[in-house]
Amino acid sequence: MKSRAAILHGIGQDWKIEQIDIGEPKAGEVLVNWKYAGMCHSDEHFVTGDMVPPDEMLAMMGGKPFFPVLGGHEGAGVVVEVGKGVTSVKVGDHVSASFVPSCGRCRYCSTGKQNLCDNGAGTLTKGMITDGTSRHHVGGEEITVMAGLGTFAEFTCVSENSLIKVDNDLPLNAVCLVSCGVATGWGSATNRANVEPGDTVVVVGIGGIGINAVQGARMAGAKRVIAIDPLEFKREKAMELGATHAFASMDEALAPVMEMTWGQMADKVIMTPGVMYGDLMAGANALCGKGGTMVVTAVAPITQDSASVNLFQLAMYNKEIKGTIFGSLNPRADIPRLLGLYRDGQLKLDELITREYPLEDINIGYQHMRDGVNIRGLIKY
């Protein structure tokens, strides 16, 4: 079949709306009609080149060119066809995308670490994670499908392992948000940082992920939730959704955090800027108190291999630095759990949606993201 799609042909280029060809789903695969797609910063990292594998890495990953790329890894839609052996969803089911697949059988899935599923290794290369062959082509050329999902197309063929069935009465724009940004931010606070009642928590960067780290810290019982972002609009939004204080920069926040904690500083610092550069860790370390935890959630340029961390302080103050993907959550359990919290009014999702765009306006939507006027923009099909 054919579908409209947003394709990126190279670093620094705009997304181009083209018609792609999609093959029928094979064993373990599902054809999905996406209704919403989230405009997450991770797809912007392809435009800037921050997340484009260098040639030597591509050679290790099979040697095929990275571009063209079909973007989109946040999404919600409806199942329209299933391949042989598919059991977790059926035609007509509503589904959430899961940018980290979960096979349920590998070492990581079987020990409660679905966010590290071995299937994830194939989600940034050409070919399906099921058998390595391609279902998506543009002009006869294979397409790299972001996260194996490609929600910047009305229809895509997806591995069953990358879909989570959700209740059909839930609004699909809310379901879309939970598939990446909400889960990643919320889990960064509640799970990876392990925020506890009474903690002082600093969240650096209030975008689609950071705003949900704020929500997660609030729901976990933090005494203080300190939001840091240079944009007043985002600081105000953070205060609406659970922050107790807001500052424009880590430097600006340093003295107030010292004063409000009587010199003990933050228990948890969660790093969710648009791009994670190594020198930002110096500010995180300064804000983090003895025995504290720094969680690095945001994506850094793929070739960056240095960070500004005072190793003496790290050891002598018994601090720790943790990375996280998908908030270290388990998508099959936690996506439905988050939607349950939304249904009960405890997790705010509708308030996160700043604007909805038709697919043809994707470049306008991403410019709005760069300009800082969106918390989260959605594509509505």
**Model confidence band, residue 55 (pLDDT cutoffs 50, 70, 90):** confident
Nearest to 92 by CA among 83, 81, 108, 102: 81
C-alpha to C-alpha distance for 207 and 342, rounded to whole angstroms:
19
Catalytic site includes residue 180: yes
- pTM for this prediction: 0.96
Residue 59: how many other CB atoms lie within 10 Å: 11
C-alpha to C-alpha distance for 104 and 126, rounded to whole angstroms:
23
**What is the distance in angstroms between the CA of the first residue and the CA of the last residue of the chain?**
17
Catalytic site includes residue 94: no
Nearest to 42 by CA among 294, 224, 297: 297
Would the pLDDT of 223 be above 90? yes
Our count of domains for the chain comes to 2
Among residues 3, 41, 45, 179, the one annotated as catalytic is 45
Residues 173 and 36 grouped into a single domain: yes
C-alpha to C-alpha distance for 132 and 128, rounded to whole angstroms:
5
Among residues 42, 98, 102, 159, the one annotated as catalytic is 42
Residue 358: how many other CB atoms lie within 10 Å: 12
Mean pLDDT of the chain: 96
Q: Give per-residue pLDDT as tens, 312-369.
A: 999 999 999 999 999 999 999 999 999 999 999 999 999 999 999 999 999 999 999 9
**Model confidence band, residue 221 (pLDDT cutoffs 50, 70, 90):** very high
C-alpha to C-alpha distance for 186 and 171, rounded to whole angstroms:
20
Catalytic site includes residue 117: no
Residues 160 and 194 grouped into a single domain: no
Catalytic site includes residue 179: no
Would the pLDDT of 138 be above 80? yes
Contact by Cβ (8 Å): 246, 210: no
Residues 215 and 356 grouped into a single domain: no
Among residues 73, 94, 136, 245, the one annotated as catalytic is 73
Among residues 103, 117, 176, 180, the one annotated as catalytic is 180
**Model confidence band, residue 56 (pLDDT cutoffs 50, 70, 90):** confident
pLDDT at 58: 78
Residues of the chain above pLDDT 70, percent: 99
User: Which CATH number goes with the domain that contains 43?
Assistant: 3.90.180.10
Residues 119 and 258 grouped into a single domain: no
- Full residue range of the structural domain in which residue 91 is found: 2-179+349-380
Catalytic site includes residue 42: yes
What's the length of the chain?
381
Residues 228 and 364 grouped into a single domain: no
C-alpha to C-alpha distance for 134 and 131, rounded to whole angstroms:
9
Among residues 3, 40, 41, 136, the one annotated as catalytic is 40
